[in-house]
A and B are shown apart, each in its own frame.
Chain A
Amino acid sequence: MQRELLEQLHSVKTMSIVGMCKNAGKTTVLNWLLHHSGRERILGLTSIGRDGESTDVVTGTEKPSIFVPAGTLIATAKDMLRLGDITLEVLMTTGIPTPVGEVVIVRARSDGYVQLAGPSITTQLKTVSRHFFDLGADQSIIDGALGRKSLGARAVAEGVILCTGASYHMSMEKVVADTVNIYRIMNIPRAATLPEEVPGTLADALKKNGEALVGGALTDSMVVPLLRSGVLRRGRLVVKDPSKVLLSTDTLDKLATRQVALETVEAARTLCVTINPVSAYGWRFDKDAFMRAMSEAVDAPVINVKEELA
């Protein structure tokens, strides 16, 4: 299993690890990957901004939890460097500002803990990835965002690991349903061709060509009337990237029934879904039931971080 998973994860040059919530197992997956492939391959590591753990950043009390092997390239804000304990080699400054200092790229000359606070803008993340490859990296890994924001990951990475777990909600059904909703949106296929831009409303474009390019967000209140009027049947809708899709599971299902193709300009695929049956807030799910429910709902491999990656 582990070998297959590694092969799967090595199949892309850029990868983003995103989570449904905190304690979904993002860091466990990242550390597992660093431990198992960081010695053979040069990994470039950064994050989208700084998620969550701001208290540790301010107080600096908690031990940073990402442990990298020697040789890893890290892009993080200058002020984060003193919170890690790797032996540092500063390779370049990027000119990208963050609230905790300019993003700098360093090479770990020893194993050790690092704190990540990378760029928060898509184009800057792409720039950092490019620097990684210029500096000799084999793969670029982005510690991504949580919840809906994680959909942006598709714009910066070819492959995505989606982490979910009991910490998201007490009801396992809800955890599975919401994860599947994100999963479906994240895996919207890439558009082979772009629809012609037509002035006027979406309905005008659909009537004319049977397909339309959606400029901004795609919401239920835009789609439901189109479904009712029938112009959408067998039509095609193309959005810029999955984060622009704000549709409920119900509406997504209706689109599928009416044979409406929903596509995006950006391309990426979900490499695997990880689950953590133990919540940080006390409760836990039956691990086998959780695994079964998740595996049935998605076509990607599902991995239990508590067992297979421990």
Chain B
Amino acid sequence: MITVSFDDKVKIGLQYVLENLHGCSPFGQERIRHLRFYAPEERAALETELGNVERAAAAAAELKDVYDRAMLVLCQMKDIRTSLRRCAEGEMPDHVELFEIKGYLQRLESLIPLLAQMDEKVHLDGVAFHDPAPALAILDPENTRSRGFYIPDGATAKLREIRHAKKQVEEQLYHARTDAEREDLRMKRTRICAEEDSEEMKVRRAMGAALAPLVPDLLADADTAGRLDFLIQKALFAVRCGGVRPELTDTALELEDMVNPELVDLLAEKGRRFVPVSIALDRGAAVITGANMGGKSVAMKTVALNVLLLHAGFLPCAKRAKMPLFHSVKMLFDDLQSIQSGLSGFGSEIVHFQKALDEVEQGYSLFLLDEFARGTNPDEGAVIVQAVTRYLNDVNAVSVLTTHYDKVAEHARIHYQIIGLRDVDPERIRAELAATSEDGVAVIARHMNYGLYRVEGKADCPRDALNICRMLSLKPEILERIEQSY
């Protein structure tokens, strides 16, 4: 089963996506708050959901008005499930509960024609409500269609009698002249009020009992309203972030030009652009290497984000996608802290790794290791990561490692490298640097290409560090010595 901690949701940008959805009904908000991931066995249900989202997204412009109106109705829905359950258990609902159930049924009534309008353009599979009319007839027996809730005089013959008597006494009381007269009428009125109260109680109890057999359908409708709410949000998200319906595969994971909405927005604020990432992975270990400017982790987190979005029934943010369903998704980021256990950073990393690996080996999984074993000395670290990579090649999982260590890539099935400064002419940047007072590092960062390219065969030693030294005009005597050692 896929479970993701809140910290991980924040790190990969899933929390950002969720917080930017606007669930309208309490039922939809609940689905967003307690995000559920489809398991591989639920493939058919996931396909249905993806189909719905894809069609709803495609028609979003045409149906904007319908979606807006549906969202408005959903916003007005209150969570009446506790009251409904109380009715089902034979308890007596009070006036306000009956008012809220009635209000919920009226909202449902206005949602049905909107759903029909959506259905006309885009068929939404498995999204249908029961007719609220029978339940409404219980709460509005005289069919007044008013928004308020009121037990009508005609609810029982006796109530009509009591209310009539109450009205008479009140009229007499209003015109009463003496205190004695008033006192007498007040006593009389109190008796009538008590009778009214007990008769109304009977009516409320009867309404609760009449609703009881309808409760399962009404609860199911609350769930459906939540589903519709979430579905509209998923569709709008897909429109905003360019979602695509993936082809579901057995093992292969291929994402073309995928993006991470949080980083897209973050970079846009700074006037920069997120470079879409493409990657093709399969069972076994893949290694991402590259310059030390953050591109590796971003690529990995974006893979995790899009895989989890798919499992939650969203369209992944990519141009094209082929994706399998995973038994579990595990990730270990390099900023692991273990204050509680008192172990060193490295020790706690190993503990977490063991635990994650146990879960990964339960079924086809996605396993992400960011800068694994970075907390130890480079010689030993390299040996450890090489061994882990070789082991993961035979584990039934797509494993992705980012690393700095030497000679890890050659043990992996797949090797990706950050494009970095590969295609940049160092002389040009040096000239640009000379002409500006801007911070050198910022200038270089601007020329960095965070895209990935696949390395076939044995890779050359990367020269990004050397290039950076050149661009920043490191002392020539030192540069010369570096070049000799390459």
Q: Mark A259-301, 1 if CB is under 8 A from B, else 0.
A: 0000000000000000000000000000000000000000000
Q: Which residue from chain A places its CB closest to the CB of B196 in the assembled complex? A: A87
B residues less than 8 Å from A88 (CB atoms):
95, 150-151
A240 at the interface (CB under 8 A from B): no
Any B CB within 8 A of the CB of A6: no
* B453 contacts partner chain A, Cβ-Cβ < 8 Å: no
Interface of chain B residues 179 through 229 with chain A (CB within 8 A) = 190, 193, 196-197
Q: Is A112 an interface residue (CB 8 A)?
A: yes
Residues of chain A with a CB closer than 8 A to B166's CB? 87, 110
Whole-angstrom distance from the CB of B439 to the nearest CB of chain A? 36
Are A91 and B148 also in contact (CB < 8 A) when A85-B193, A111-B173 are?
yes
**Contact flags A91-113 to B (C-beta < 8 A → 1, else 0):** 11100000000101011011110
Question: How far apart sit A123 and B170, CA to CA, in the bound complex (Å)?
Answer: 36
- B147 close to A92 (CB less than 8 A): yes
Bound together, the chains give a CA A295 to CA B37 distance in angstroms of 75
Contact of B167 among A91, A93, A107, A110 (CB under 8 A): A110
User: Would you call B413 an interface residue if the criterion is a C-beta within 8 Å of the partner chain's C-beta atoms?
Assistant: no
Say yes or no: A109 contacts B193, CB within 8 Å: no
The answer to whether A93 and B170 have CB atoms under 8 Å apart is no
Residues of chain B within 8 A (CB-CB) of A56 are: none
Chain B, 112-134, CB within 8 A of any chain A CB: none
Q: Which residues of A contact B174 (CB under 8 A)?
A: 35, 39, 69, 111
Task: Say how far B246's CB is from chain A's closest CB, in angstroms.
Answer: 41
Q: Give the contacts of B359-417 with A (CB-CB under 8 A).
A: none
* A39-B173 Cα distance, complex, nearest whole Å: 14
Closest to B167 in A: A110
Would you call A85 and B197 a contact (CB within 8 A)? yes
Q: Note all chain A residues with C-beta closer than 8 A to B322.
A: none
A194 to B297, CA, bound (A): 56
Chain A positions within 8 Å of B95 at CB level: 81, 88, 90, 106
Q: Which residues of chain A come closer than 8 Å to B47, judged between CB atoms? A: none
B22 interface residue (CB < 8 Å to A) = no
Distance A107 CA – B197 CA, assembled complex (angstroms): 17
Query: How many residues of B sit at the interface, in one of the four size bands?
Result: 20 to 34
User: Is residue B163 within 8 Å, beta carbon to beta carbon, of the partner chain?
Assistant: yes
Q: Which residues B73-104 have CB closer than 8 A to chain A?
A: 78, 94-96, 98-100
Given contacts A87-B196, A111-B170, contact A93 B78 (CB under 8 A): yes
Residue contact B99 to A93, C-beta cutoff 8 Å: yes
The answer for the CA separation of A93 and B96 in the assembled complex, in Å, is: 8
Q: State whether the Cβ of A51 lies closer than 8 Å to any Cβ in chain B.
A: no
Q: Residues 29-66 of chain A: 1 if any B CB is under 8 Å from the residue's CB, otherwise 0?
A: 00000010001000000000000000000000000000
Which single residue of chain B is at the shortest CB-CB distance from A101?
B96
Beta-carbon contact of B149 and A90 below 8 Å: yes
Report the interface size for chain A: residues with CB under 8 A from the other chain.
23
Of all chain B residues, the one with the shortest Cβ separation from A67 is B173
Which residues of B from 131 to 159 have beta carbons under 8 Å from A? Answer: 147-151
Least CB distance from A57 to B in Å reads 18
Known: A81-B95, A90-B99. Contact between A107 and B193, CB under 8 A? Answer: no
CB distance from A34 to the nearest CB of B (A): 11
Residues from chain B with Cβ under 8 Å of A112 in the complex: 170, 193
A89 at the interface (CB under 8 A from B): yes
Q: Which residues of A contact B98 (CB under 8 A)?
A: 90
Query: Inside 8 A of A110's CB, which chain B residues have their CB?
Result: 163, 166-167, 170
The answer to whether B148 touches A89, judged by C-beta atoms less than 8 angstroms apart, is yes
Write the nearest CB–CB distance from B98 to chain A, whole angstroms.
Answer: 8
Complexed CA–CA distance, A198 and B223 (Å): 57
With A93-B99, A93-B100 in contact, do A109 and B150 touch (Cβ < 8 Å)?
yes
Interface string of A107-145 (1 = CB under 8 A from B): 101111000000000000000000000000000000000
Q: How far is the CB of A109 from chain B (nearest CB, A)?
A: 6
CA distance A82 to B193 in the complex (A): 12
How many angstroms from the CA of A163 to the CA of B174 in the assembled complex?
A: 25
Contacts of A85 in B (CB 8 A): 190, 193, 196-197
Distance in angstroms between the alpha carbons of A106 and B100 in the assembled complex: 13
Among A35, A81, A102, A110, residue most surrounded by chain B Cβ atoms (within 10 Å): A110
User: In the complex, which of the residues B96, B190, B193 has the most CB atoms of chain A within 10 Å of its own CB atom?
Assistant: B96
Which B-chain residue is minimally distant from A104 (CB atoms)? B96
Pair A90/B170 contact, Cβ less than 8 Å: no
A26 within 8 A of B: no
Interface: A22 (CB within 8 A): no
Pairwise interchain contact B148-A107, C-beta atoms closer than 8 A:
yes
Give the residue name and chain of the B residue nearest to A85 (CB). Answer: B193
3 A-B pairs with the lowest CB-CB distances in the bound complex, closest first: A90-B99, A89-B150, A85-B193
- 15 A-B pairs in the complex with CB atoms less than 8 angstroms apart: A69-B174, A85-B190, A85-B193, A85-B196, A88-B150, A89-B148, A90-B96, A90-B98, A90-B99, A91-B147, A92-B147, A93-B99, A110-B166, A111-B174, A112-B193
